[in-house]
Amino acid sequence: MDDLNKLRMRANGSRKFNKKLSFWAYRRLHSYIHYKAIAEGLPVVYVDPRGTSKASPVGGELVFINYKWIKLPTSHIATRDLIASWNLALRGLRLLTRDVGLRGCVEAPKAPNQMQP
């Protein structure tokens, strides 16, 4: 997931309560996703979303058709949202797999089985 710590920090003239209120929906969504991932035994990684819609996930240069559409070096056309989500997934995978030989995989606790007595 993308790290939303500095989302809306640049909002000029907003008050402290308005900032907290605007973060509420994002934080709630993050907490639901985090809870469900831990329940399924999946790792959760927070990455910096800066520049994810402007970088090519396959290498090479992106050609910007307009604000929304991008042409990849492989001649495929995609939206910036798709490219950003692809780059976020790659960054998260890089964070999960670095130093694996040194620390091994840390497994999240599984949810209890409701069918067991």
pLDDT tens string 87-115: 999 999 888 888 565 455 555 555 555 55
Same domain, 28 and 68: no
pLDDT in tens, 55-71: 999 888 999 999 899 99
29 plus 59 within the same structural domain = no
Cα separation, 73 vs 44, whole angstroms: 30
Residues 14 and 51 in one domain: no
Region 44-65: mean pLDDT is: 89
Q: How far is the CA of 44 from the CAs of 26, 31, 49, in angstroms?
A: 16, 11, 15
Q: How confident is the model at residue 48 (pLDDT cuts 50, 70, 90)?
A: confident
Find tokens 């069918």 and name the residue: 115
Whole domain around residue 73: which residue ranges?
Answer: 47-101
Domain count, the chain: 2
Is residue 57 a part of any domain in this protein?
yes
